[in-house]
Amino acid sequence: MLSTTTGVRVLQEADLPLLQALIDRDPLVNLFVDHRAATTRLQARWLGGEVWGYFEDGALVSACHVGANLVPVEATDRAVDAFAYRAESLGRLSSSIVGLRDAVVRLWDHLAPEWGPARSLRLDQPFLEIAGPPAVRPDPRLRPVLLDEIDILYPASVAMFTEEVGESPELPGRNSYRARVTQLVSRGWAYAIIEDGEVLFKAEVGSATRRGCQVQGVYVPPEHRGKGLGAAGMAAVVERAQREVAPVVSLYVNDYNVPARRVYERVGFVRTATFASVLF
């Protein structure tokens, strides 16, 4: 039986200082939850879910973002077991489990019988960071996408998502995808090289704090690959993001995506952790 000071409970706005101290143990790895906590103040109507805290003797030891993404934060084995027990009792509410590999694998071991089968298991995703200038000359054509260019960007975004995830973001129940793309454009977080009404390269900042940002959606259309656009475009994203968003740029990539990993290495990214993702 759990004591009144040990176990899992939903974190409230008053718990933000405790959560922030936990996040600060590794602010780049925990950047997604840091961004979500800061922008929603843990208000359910904005969060679209909950953040659970695992306490031991009254102290916050670990946390878990529970929404479209299930994301453990500084999760100990005991915390993972407790989060999994609670998640099992509620049924699957998330379309993915994402985070540091050990915690994600342990969560999945618990949840697979109830939440499975997974559509895709990606259990070795290098987490990369770059804090200095890019090692490749940035492509000067890269710039923020304008609101009146969403119709140009959107097909490339759909193609990227479909190639990466294995199914279209426009399937029934995913009507919010265009809204998400529009939101990133309106924030100035969508970058692209566009010529003659065609996207040659694109990437977005998906989450950001004052200490770092995380890049997602990196894409070069198949007909333009092999021309050096990926490295020069990514270098330009790093340069702009460091100047306009946050000082450190991070991302995670599938281990089997060797061309992308080579591009990031050329640009100057270094591996600092290993993520895993379970997609439903």
* pLDDT at site 174: 58
Asked whether residue 40 falls in the same domain as residue 99, the answer is yes
- Domain with 46, as residue range(s), is 7-117
- Does residue 122 sit within a domain? no
Q: How confident is the model over 65-111, as pLDDT tens digits?
A: 999 999 999 999 999 999 999 999 999 989 999 999 999 999 999 99
Number of domains present in the structure of the chain: 2
Q: How confident is the model over 216-251, as pLDDT tens digits?
A: 999 999 999 999 999 999 999 999 999 999 999 999
- Does residue 135 sit within a domain? yes
Q: How confident is the model over 259-280, as pLDDT tens digits?
A: 999 999 999 999 999 999 999 9
- Does residue 1 sit within a domain? no
pLDDT tier at 2, thresholds 50, 70, 90? very low
Q: How confident is the model over 124-179, as pLDDT tens digits?
A: 999 999 999 999 999 999 999 999 999 999 999 999 999 998 889 988 655 689 99
Q: How confident is the model over 191-212, as pLDDT tens digits?
A: 999 999 999 999 999 999 999 9
Helix/strand/coil (H/E/C) assignment for every residue in the chain = CCCCCCEEEECCHHHHHHHHHHHCCCCCCCHHHHHHHHHHCCCHHHHCCEEEEEEECCEEEEEEEECCEEEEECCCHHHHHHHHHHHHHHCCCCCEEEEEHHHHHHHHHHHHHHHCCCCEEEEEEEEEEECCCCCCCCCCCCEECCHHHHHHHHHHHHHHHHHHHCCCCCCCCCCCHHHHHHHHHHHCCEEEEEECCEEEEEEEEEEECCCCEEEEEEECCHHHCCCCHHHHHHHHHHHHHHHHCCCCEEEECCCCCHHHHHHHHHHCCEEEEEEEEEEC
Is the pTM above the cut of 0.85? Answer: yes
Q: At 39, which CATH number?
A: 3.40.630.30
Percent of all residues in the chain with a pLDDT value above 90, rounded to a whole number: 92
Domain boundary among 117, 152, 182: 117
